[in-house]
A and B are shown apart, each in its own frame.
Chain A
């Protein structure tokens, strides 16, 4: 089984996770730029973070046979801090880089005017650079937030097939698929979505334009949830082809729209170092 996790924050995970993911069949991941838990207070912290997503993390993933791509954005939570806003001015530089396969995570957190503006500006960046957009839907007041997000997406002029709305549930999936956008589901141990509910949604709505991810990060989460969702699909009667479609071909098709998703068969790399740093020899 080959698995592509279209949304996982590997910066927050250990090399044990990479090993377990490889063993479970994960061969490619997309890591969206997001909130680190500890708020950042200056643009420079973002640039170092982006550099890590483009340099250190793909290197680390390659050591374990996993190809790593990323999405870059100013996330909605921090878009509210005026000290972080200048990041928007430098984003086009980062969005132009080879391993950036979408703009994201963008979207709403508290639905403030600042978030409105950051979302609109970054959707324009996506249009200018021909990139897909990964749009997070808010945890609070989700249905309203999702509806408003769809309105802003439509207003921006970006093609709906270039947009995924993520962290959906039973109440938001219908309107997103109807809009022509992709529907993303984050399978979490406790909140958001379980693998069994995911199977029911796939039975009700089909496997077209659906992405399933672990969204694993620094919180209570599980980087193997993609594999567990695949197993739950098989257990409830989906065939191998349907599993491959949801967990490999769909994310490849979505991010492939960037023209930058260069997938080859990665093998664990014992030799190389990153800027003089090798995690194999234990130096960090």
Chain B
């Protein structure tokens, strides 16, 4: 499995995010008390985790967190567990969680993945508190239809640990679900020839159907060798018999030329 290192977009610390929130004494007191109970008895998280939204609120704090997600992340990081027991508790929270709870679990995963940078790339499954053990949750979210969960599954944890094939499929699923690709992690380090080819094929299908292509795939397509053959293909499509197909090809070609190249070249795989 090619492990390409943690994408550098680890989420903001949920405690800091909550501290910037207008102080609500009962909510903070509840959260402190809940953390103490979980530290004392990890299984207590089962009934505290669902109550966090009601107790603490659900306003948006920043790009990454809402209040309930941040509060739930604080509860998760309070678990005095690692390895299998930690993964087991997370699996229970996810299995019995509603979509908001599942989103909070997925968004908290990178906070548990404290792999030292120097070790990332060797045997990632063995490092950190959690290792690969929460990948089944990421996969379950990616199999579903809830776009907010698909997006959360492709945070730094999933982006760093999904095998290449699964990561590519997940990116393609985001394109189908109209999840903007700048909201998912790891694309700058994990995009490769094969993903670019898949996206180019997808764009071709759209053009052949006379439809528009989502513009956020162009930077990926542009950065890889498939660009040359794909540009030829689009040029050929501008002579297609069907007028809407020709026009779609012209629009795609224009967008492709306008797209800026990825700023960072993909890293060599370790």
Contacts and interface: CB of A to CB of B under 8 A. Distances in A.
A274 to B, nearest CB: 8
A94 B146 CA distance: 21
A47 B47 CA distance: 15
Interface stretch (B48-56, B121-129, B190-198): B48-56
B50 A98 contact: yes
A258 to B, nearest CB: 10
Nearest to B150: A276
Nearest to B53: A98
Interface in A128-148: 129
Contacts of B149: 275
B112 to A, nearest CB: 20
Contacts of A92: 46-47
B10 interface: no
A55 interface: yes
Interface in A90-140: 90, 92-98, 129
A269 interface: no
Interface in B121-157: 144-147, 149
A96 B53 CA distance: 11
A275 B144 contact: yes
Contacts of B144: 275-276
B257 interface: no
B21 interface: no
Contacts of A55: 98-99
A90 to B, nearest CB: 6
Interface residues of B, number: 19
B54 to A, nearest CB: 5
Contacts of A275: 99, 144-146, 149
Contacts of B47: 92-93, 95-96, 129
A277 B145 contact: yes
Given A275-B146, A276-B145, A277-B145, A54 B96 contact: no
B250 to A, nearest CB: 32
Interface in A59-110: 90, 92-98
A97 B49 CA distance: 9
A94 B92 CA distance: 12
Contacts of B48: 96
Interface string A203-215: 0000000000000
Interface of B: 46-51, 53-54, 92, 95-96, 98-99, 144-147, 149, 177
Interface of A: 47, 51, 54-55, 90, 92-98, 129, 260, 275-277
The 10 tightest CB contacts between A and B, nearest first, are A276-B145, A275-B146, A96-B50, A96-B47, A92-B47, A97-B50, A93-B46, A93-B96, A96-B51, A98-B54
